[in-house]
A and B are shown apart, each in its own frame.
Chain A
């Protein structure tokens, strides 16, 4: 009756997964680039292309508008805008990709912050004719703020500057210097023409002077993830598994996903915020006993000692964070309702949600100039700033610079559950300008 086949096929070869985000406006040719990546990697299928051609004709456009591939909602198509982060999926023989496609029109910062939060690489697009403009610096700043490990500068429309190397070199140099000043560690610049297809998937026939990889080659080979063995173990407890069956009478396992690092059976661990210590007695990898687990695996951990642990606790090893009720953080405000000093909110950090009070909005950061401005007016949607929060219970926060997963949180409106603000523990950038605070009239 049933069909069960467990086999091994060549098409099932394991590959790694890269999450990346694109940043740029329509004018920079971002939709064309995304369309080109999907199309040339053969990820757009015949019926999708047919639907796009059909819709383009109905709108009176002669050529298929590849932007229609990515504009999913009726309001977007009717208004010709992109409202929201869209996720795209494609694969090559070497890697699976998840692309967070962030729109440039409205709510730009909010959307790019969202897309960049899970990205390991950001593609920043510039028009070769315009070079590094204000928006480019903003994109670089958001990527730096969210600690996206790798940034690619795609200098697009090289066909419109006669594929001239000096144009590319000047833009790449300026951008790389700026990104480095923000603390971005890895920048690769690629000269492309998304429209003509140069250096996107196929190497360009027009730019012999460029010896680097095409954009796709770089995406396929850029290192993914961090080295778990070089990081302290962080294991936020999601759920306590207690089968209470005869077979597993005394089983008490802590289910979670390693946020960073490696756990081995026998490791000494500390439970935060309580500070109790124990050792790892067993690790179950989704039902199978194992000796070792590492980020980002989801496993179940059992400890040698019977201590009180529940959802929201952190099992940790290595240098430990000091649990605190006073949280200093860089935030991006996501909601139309402004955030003001005195606001009582919920703070969700890893698997723990606590009440919190906005004690201070220290300053806003002008994302274009990176200068500090007064925070007295509160934070509006898309504002980035620095805040001081007081929480009802202590949190085991790492600095976001050290750990994107245990250093991040969101603020939630307790009245209706709206997600208000994205937070990153610690200072925003390696170098924050403090120049103009005294020039602000309403600085308090």
Chain B
């Protein structure tokens, strides 16, 4: 039942083999260079999380030996892990980058945003993010979102057009064929660009290992004072936890994702090296968002709703 008239070619057996990491890297670099070639004012959303760190690493490689032709934008919830902020500042200094910070706290102080009853600040990031994009006239905004993270993200384009309100309309997405990315946009609109679209969590970690990329230390197992809320280990701290009925204990944990302290949970782990982390993820029975993100547990369409409003 097999018709084979062409010469069989097995890339794995030839000197021209590309590993899956090589293939993903080549694709992501292509995306960065397309944006550099077609946009006036691109910016990289940089949270200090592993995905944004890998983005920055890819951008550095894409334009070497020239500097990265983009600035960084950090949407600061005010509930940052100090290790992550320190990492951010080291990275900016090391690579001589320009950093813009859009701070949720400023908006709360000015009365533009109100603290939520549940204390979550991730949902509050959208307004400072969109203001930051508008006031700096950024026309392309790189995000570290991956399609394997979440169902609504699985249908996201690599180049994703946002209207004047920063909104995403999944029904009006442009078909994206071959490696032809359409970055046309009107004044006031911008394009979100996701160079890691086709990467999985495991790919990211394997790439971090292969490239020897430094990460904030909270990604590796360490002892930390935590308390349990909604089934997750949250770090005790100034941002609001714990409440009276939430006892604090010291546990050996690490973070699988890094976001706002109020909604990012730690996982029990003794994985204190990259090898151990990769082994742990390969065997994990939970997705990283399922294990660690309170903001995605709010409804079946939580991510979709936030994306429509202009979230990452």
Contact = CB atoms under 8 A, between A and B. Distances in A.
A91 B202 contact: yes
B115 to A, nearest CB: 28
5 contacts: A46-B285, A188-B2, A223-B9, A257-B33, A405-B178
Contacts of B304: 72-74
B118 to A, nearest CB: 21
Nearest to B189: A417
A12 B210 contact: yes
B215 interface: yes
B117 interface: no
Interface stretch (A197-205, A238-246, A273-281): A238-246
Interface in B48-72: 60-67
A351 interface: yes
B275 A9 contact: yes
Interface string A2-21: 11111111011011110000
A298 interface: yes
Given A6-B212, A84-B170, A241-B63, A422 B2 contact: no
Contacts of B179: 118, 257, 405
Interface in A396-444: 404-405, 408-410, 412, 416-419, 422
Given A7-B273, A12-B210, A48-B287, A84 B155 contact: yes
Interface string B195-226: 00110101100100111111111011000000
Interface string A68-92: 0011111101000001111111010
Interface stretch (A109-117, A130-138, A263-271): A109-117
Sorting the interface of chain B by its residue count into under 10, 10 to 19, 20 to 34 or 35 or more gives 35 or more
A172 B155 CA distance: 33
In the A-B complex, the 6 residue pairs with the smallest Cβ-Cβ separation, listed nearest first, are: A417-B184, A47-B290, A6-B212, A14-B19, A72-B151, A287-B64
Nearest to B177: A117
A330 B141 CA distance: 34
Sorting the interface of chain A by its residue count into under 10, 10 to 19, 20 to 34 or 35 or more gives 35 or more
B9 A5 contact: no
A243 B284 CA distance: 44
Given A243-B65, A348-B180, A187 B175 contact: no
Most buried by B among A47, A51, A422: A47
Contacts of B285: 45-46
Contacts of A117: 177-178
Contact of A251 (B16, B37, B65, B90): B65
B176 interface: yes
A46 B286 contact: yes
Contact of A88 (B8, B12, B154, B186): B154
Contacts of A96: 20, 200, 203
Contacts of B286: 45-47
Interface stretch (B23-31, B98-106, B232-240, B259-267): B23-31
A129 interface: no
A71 B304 CA distance: 12
Given A416-B186, A418-B174, A296 B37 contact: no
Nearest to B286: A47
A262 interface: yes
